Every structure is written in structure tokens, then in C-alpha cells.
Structure 1
Amino acid sequence: MIKGRVLALTSNFPRWREDSTTPFVLHLCRELQKIDWQVDVLAPHAPGAAKRGTIEGVRVERFQYMWPSSWQTVCYQGGAMGNLRRNKLNYLQLPFLLFFEWLSLRRKLLSGKYDILHSHWLLPQGFIGRLTASSLSIPHIITIHGGDIFGLKGGIFSRTKRFALQGAAGITVNSSVTEKAVLKLVAKTSPVQRIPMGIKTRESPDFSGKVDELKGLYKKNGTPLLIFTGRLVEEKGVADFLTAIKILLADAVEVRALIVGDGQDKGDMEHLAEELGIADNVVFTGWQPSELIPCFLAAADIFVGPSRTAANGWVEAQGLTFVEAMMAGTPVIASNVGGIVDSVYHEKTGLLVEERNPAQIAQAVKRLLSNSSLRAHLQKNGREMAENNFSRRASALAFDTLFSKVMQCRN
């Protein structure tokens, strides 16, 4: 029996199977369907994507906001904020994106098919969601992922965020730092609940074989393999990772680095590796399917996540990759910023270093390579923490409780 019908409004959803777009919204929708919620998705269209379709059992409709479709360049490919920074002309598309998102959402909600609207990201979805849902008396839940609360600060943006939040039947955040930022905008009595996004906690049947294959490809003569996975953008700190590799090699600590992911700074990072003279020790794999990321992580000896606070105030709100590394049994070195500290506890589930400090990263690598008992300690505690607190099912069950409560209040 269906518990209720939910429409998820998002600007970040896989455009097709095995897309490079981060799939955590898809994973949440799929897990909710397993526990008897009907979840449909409304997202912006993108060149090459179907207007309507189903991905992993989740129905999605994509609204077009520019004609021809090739002109749609605000969303996807690194996210709206990155696309706006990279090309200021993308700002000209924003009025069309907002209008057609509102129009498409209103049409969907007027169909009478949905009991709850679930907006992912505060801007623009939370704002558009409040405008539409409140006029139709449909409960509105906003999930804040981080970049939406830390970016676009001050003036009209803060007032718009506050307007969206004040009308919500429920507000969820993914970490303590995100919650703190939200509570600066709304009263402490607001319905804010911390629900981190979840990760896969079961290994695929061919997991061990794939890990061995990757070790054969990338580990040479037993040389320790360090790994970064994520978007190649300035705030992820890949430049600090590369500089740390140079420091290690200069200190006669032989290591190899694997950089898994894509992004607008990939070319710059490849050039930096050449400039630093470490290109022979660094492999850029490009984008990899999400189901292979745990295999890459398990094939490595140490995961390094050197995230930085960006000039616009962005910080790593949660950092699923850090938890994925723990789940894969790979010791973690991470920057002591943002929501990372909700999962990486210094000397318990990982090692924390100062942001923008390659020397500390190099020192932490040396410490782990020379101390097998510390590595084992971090691996054990990290895996237990990931399994107990960050599974996709645990995340879905928390949303299940929230949705049920909202449904009861409505009835």
C-alpha cells in the first residue's frame, strides 16, 4: 500500500543512466520507493536528455527552459554555481529557468497527484516550491545540501532564503554546519532536522575482483596509492593534494596518486602536476561510474580530501566521499572544515589537517604509512561509523518518519 505521493523538485538529477551527475537524489528517491512512497522527480532539461523517462525505477520529467535545448547551460556539468562562475552569460538564462520551473511545478501539482512537495536545494527550488505549494495548500519540505545556504549571501538572497524557509512544513540539513547556517536565518523553533544523505553499504558481487583489477592497473611495485575522488574544482583542494605529493617525493617517500573525477579545473590540475614535476606519479582517470567509486577507494591505501573554504563562503557541507572511503576500509585524511567533522573524528575515524596546508597533508600521509596499528584503528572505527550512521536506508527511514508526520498533520 502506498503511504503517500511525493514530488521531488531538484536541479541535480542524472540525465541518463551512468551520467556523471551526482546521483544522491536518485538514490534517496529509490530507497523511499522501497518503503512504499511513490516518488516522482521534476528537474531541468539538458541537451541530450529525454523529456520524460524512468531511471532505476524513478519517474522523472524534465522541463525545457531555453530554445534550442543546446542553449541550456545553467545546470549539470559541475552544478549551477560553478557554471555561473565560469560563464557570466549563464546569468541571462536564470529568469527563464525560474519561470519554467514555476510553470512546470504548478502544472504538476495542479494535477492533484501529490501529497507532498520535496524541494532539494534552497535556491531556486525552495523558493519556487514555497511560491507554488503554499498557493495550493500542499505541504512543502526543503532539503538543504550546503552550497545553497553557504553561497549567494546577503541582501535579497538572504531575504529570499528566509522567505522559503519560513513557509516549510519541514526542513532537513545534512550536517551540523549546515544546520547552524540555517538557524541564523530562521527561528530556533523552526522544524529543522538533521538527515545526512546515505551511501551504499553493501558490496556488489564482483567487488573483490574489480578491486584487484584496479590495484593491478594503478599500484606499481607495492608503491602506496593515495586517492582523491570528487569534482575537480578549486574548493575541493586538489592543488593542495598535488603539492603534498611533491613534498612527499622530495622527502624520498615514494607514492602514487589517483585522481578520480572531472570538473572545470581538470586541465589546470593536469598542468599543475606537470609544473610540479610529479606527472609520472599522478593519474587522472576522469569521470567514473558511481558504482565503481567504492572499488577505486578500496584499491587505494589512503584517501585524501583536502577541501577548502571558498571565497564566496562555500564549505564542504557533508562530504559523502569521506564516508564512502571509510566504508571501503580506506584510511581518511581530511581538512578540518565544514560538515566533514561530523564523520571524520581526529585519530578515531580519520586524520584532520588544516585547510590549504599541503605540508600537514604530507605529514599525515607519512604518519599513516609508518603506523600500521593507527591505520587499522581508523579503518575499524571508520567502517563502523559509516555503517551505523550513513546508510541509504537509514536516511530514507528518517525521511519516512518526517513525511508520515507531515501527512498526519495535513489530515
Structure 2
Amino acid sequence: MKDPTKRRHILCVASNFPRWKGDSTTPFVLHLAQDLQKLGWEITVLAPHAPGTQSNETLDGVRIKRFRYLWPERLETVCYHGGMLVNLRNNPFDYIKIFPFLLLETFNIIRELLTQQYSLLHTHCLLPQGFTGVIANLICKIPHITTIHGSDIFALRNPLFLLCKRFTLKHVDATTVNSSVAEHATQELLSKPLRILRRIPMGVAQTLAVPRSTSAKLRNRYRRGNGPLIIFVGRLVMEKGVDDLLKAIGLLIPKLPDITAIIIGEGQDKLLFSSLAEKLGIANQVSFPGWVTAEELPSWYQAADIFVGPSKRSPEGWIEAQGLTFIEALMAGIPVIATRSGGIIDSIHHEETGLLVNENAPEEIAAAMERIHTDKNLTQQLITKGKTLAANNFSRQSSAASFSALFDEVLKNRCPTP
């Protein structure tokens, strides 16, 4: 009889996944799939369709299937563009699209599991993928691991959503979280310990050496005089705190008139932030180049003097569960300023690997930027310790190895050797 633990085909289900080559939508899900394939797992990703995407393709070596949930495709707006919570907040009409989304996601999970030879189901996010995976598994009976990324555990706190979360956690074989704060929030949901709960951060690629000429060109283009060049990377939505960064720059202008900033990313609040820069009188010192590819990003980090990520709690309860861009900045070797928010504190330790400030505190951000700009000894210490911590604790290789070991453990538990 064939040993079921030897089958190594995983169905990975996610609500956000790169829509095409070079897309910056949740690249860490793609990276994990690529790294697991290097360890001998075969990965098929199931994700929602979106306008302009293909239904079936192989993207950077990973097979991806995208399911339709509304017709015509221009109505498929529940996911992507900042994520489901942001889309629902900005367009309440999308709430009526949730039912067909859940129904067709569940149907497509069932169809995949019944028609293909999978050994594991791996769902990204407790809601909705973890929940729809559990419903599908009432029929398919396959080992199921769910990964909590942040918004799925911190937001969606009404009684119905809490009931769905508890139901999901009770019926999966294992749960992973990406930070200490997500681990604590998950444990609080249930009165009894989970079967298996592991903290496995999403991994970040170590920054390869980039040509100095490339970063130098960017630095010459965006920097003024001897002023610091600030960089932000992320979704341009209010909870990322870009407004606080812009206000902090405005506060520093009298002391550092040549300060400039690059705001990399896209999102629903981009125009709001651009308008705020105009209102503060700093529009000529702040640039919004949009998204850049993962391959180009290290050059942008290394062109800058300081990375600032002032994330804060959203009205729905979202907080930064891990903060991959903070770790990318550490890997790239630039000092980091971050808020004492969510799982950021797992990687940014105050005055060791970065400087921490409170949420909604532009004056603290301004003081931290000035301190790093003027204290070169502190800057070098933050860079050295930050790179070491990032390389030791948050590499893509260690993340994939931890997931692979967990998958093997779950398979052995469900299919014990006689």
C-alpha cells in the first residue's frame, strides 16, 4: 500500500496573490510556494480571479488557478487593491459580493480536492480561507493547516465572525501565526489549547548586492543637498500611517529644510496623502513613484537614509501583525523607525535594531528622524544589529523549512506509520 505521507502535493488557498509577473500583491505567498517547491513539495495555488488575470497559468514556477465569483469581471472587486477589509470599508456595495465569493471559493476548493491528488490543504488567513477550507473539508477529509496573517485575527470581532473563527480553529489540524502578538490573540480565542499552534514568520530574501550606480542614480534624483532621504514602502492606506510621516516631515522642515521622502506603493488613499503633502507645503519634497518590482526594491532601500513605517490600528481593528517591509529594510542595511504596534516589536527592538515611537505621533517620528540623521554611531549600531537579527530570524529559507517540517508532522499525525 502506498504511504500517504509520501504524497507531497499541497493546495494553497489565498484571497490575495500576485496577479501577474512583477505584481506586488502579497509576494510573500508566492515566495513561500517557490521555497516549498525547492524542498520537494508540489504547490498549486487557488486564488480569486481579478480583472485582467488569467484563469490558469504558471507564475514564476508556481501553478495558479483563479476562480471566478462574479460576472462580468469588472465586478470582481472584493480582493486585491489593499485587501478585503480596505475594499469593504471604501465600497460598502462590496458586502453583497461576499456570499457569491464564499460560495464559489468553497465550491472550487471541493472540486480541486476531489479531482486532484492532494496530500494537504494550506489556507492563508483564518477568514475567509480557513473557514471555507473547513467547510470543504467536511466532504474531502484532508489534513488542513491554516496560516493567520493579522487582519483575520485582529479585525472582524463581531459575534458571528468570532464564532466562525473559533469553529475554524477547532477543525484544522494545525495553525500558524507570523508574530508573538498574533499568537497571543489566537490563544485568547479558545478556552482550550489548539492541537498545534506554531509561530512561523513569513520569510524575507536576504538583500543581494546591487550595483552602486543604480542606487546612486536614485539617490541623486530624489535627495536634496545634505538632507536625509526618507523611504516608506507599503499599501497607501490610512492604517499604514503615511499621514503621520508627512506631518513629521512638515515639522522637521525648519531644522532640516532639505529633507525629502519617497513613498513607494499604491492604495485607495494615495490621492489623500498627495493632497495632504500639498496642504503641508511639502509636495516638492515628497515623491510617489508607485509600486516597484521586488527585484528593484533593494536599490530603492539602499538609496535612502532612513526607513519609516508608522503603522497604526485601523477602525476595523487591523494592526501590523508582522511587517515584512520593516524586515526588508533591516536586510538592506538602513536604519528603521517604527511604531510600537502589533508584531513590529518582534523585529524592531528600541535602540537596538531600530527606533520605536507611539502610534499617531508625528512629533515623535520627527524627533527620531532627526536623531538618526545626527547620531552616526547610533545609526551604524542599528544597521549592524538589524541586519544580524533579520538574517538570523526572518530568512525565506528558515520560514520554508519550518513550514515543511510542520507539513510532515501533520501528515504523520493523520497517517501514522503502522
TM-score range, shorter chain: over 0.9
**8 Å CA contact 1:304, 1:334 repeated in 2:** yes
Q: How high is the TM-score relative to the length of structure 2?
A: 0.96
SS at 2:221 equivalent: helix
Residue of 205, 208, 212 corresponding to 1:203: 208
One-letter code aligned to 1:347: E
C-alpha displacement at 1:88, in angstroms?
0.7
Name the residue aligned to 2:276: 272
Deviation track 1:157-198 (CA, whole Å, cap 9, x = no partner) reads 000000011111110000011111111112234311000001
C-alpha displacement at 1:223, in angstroms?
2.4
C-alpha displacement at 1:221, in angstroms?
2.7
SS at 1:200 equivalent: coil
SS at 1:334 equivalent: strand
Residue of 366, 373, 376 corresponding to 2:370: 366
Name the residue aligned to 1:87: 91
C-alpha displacement at 1:3, in angstroms?
5.7
**Distance in 2 between the 1:234 and 1:247 partners?**
19
SS at 1:220 equivalent: coil
C-alpha displacement at 1:111, in angstroms?
1.6
**8 Å CA contact 1:2, 1:38 repeated in 2:** no
Structure 1's unaligned 5+ residue stretches are none
Q: How high is the TM-score relative to the length of structure 1?
A: 0.97
Residue of 246, 251, 254 corresponding to 1:250: 254
SS at 2:295 equivalent: helix
Q: 2:42 aligned with 1:35, yes or no?
A: no
**Which deviates further from its counterpart, 217-226 or 96-105?**
217-226
C-alpha displacement at 1:289, in angstroms?
1.2
Q: 2:192 aligned with 1:191, yes or no?
A: no
SS at 1:291 equivalent: coil
C-alpha displacement at 1:408, in angstroms?
1.0
Name the residue aligned to 1:377: 381
C-alpha displacement at 1:288, in angstroms?
1.3
Name the residue aligned to 2:307: 303
**Distance in 1 between the 2:77 and 2:197 partners?**
33
**Distance in 2 between the 1:365 and 1:60 partners?**
42
C-alpha displacement at 1:21, in angstroms?
1.3
Q: 2:174 aligned with 1:170, yes or no?
A: yes
**Which deviates further from its counterpart, 88-97 or 282-291?**
282-291
Name the residue aligned to 2:12: 8
**Distance in 1 between the 2:260 and 2:29 partners?**
33
Compared CA separation, residues 189 and 94, structure 1 to 2 (3 A): closer
Residue of 156, 162, 167 corresponding to 1:158: 162
Residue of 178, 182, 186 corresponding to 2:186: 182
Number of corresponding residues: 410
Structure 2's unaligned 5+ residue stretches are none
**8 Å CA contact 1:229, 1:321 repeated in 2:** yes
SS at 1:307 equivalent: coil
**Distance in 1 between the 2:7 and 2:162 partners?**
35
SS at 1:184 equivalent: helix
**8 Å CA contact 2:312, 2:360 repeated in 1:** yes
**8 Å CA contact 1:2, 1:37 repeated in 2:** no
Name the residue aligned to 1:406: 410
Name the residue aligned to 1:124: 128
SS at 1:345 equivalent: coil
SS at 2:208 equivalent: coil
Cα RMSD after superposing both structures: 1.4
**Which deviates further from its counterpart, 373-382 or 104-113?**
104-113
**8 Å CA contact 1:306, 1:355 repeated in 2:** yes
Q: 2:333 aligned with 1:329, yes or no?
A: yes
SS at 2:33 equivalent: helix
Q: 2:118 aligned with 1:114, yes or no?
A: yes
Name the residue aligned to 1:234: 238
**Distance in 2 between the 1:95 and 1:157 partners?**
14
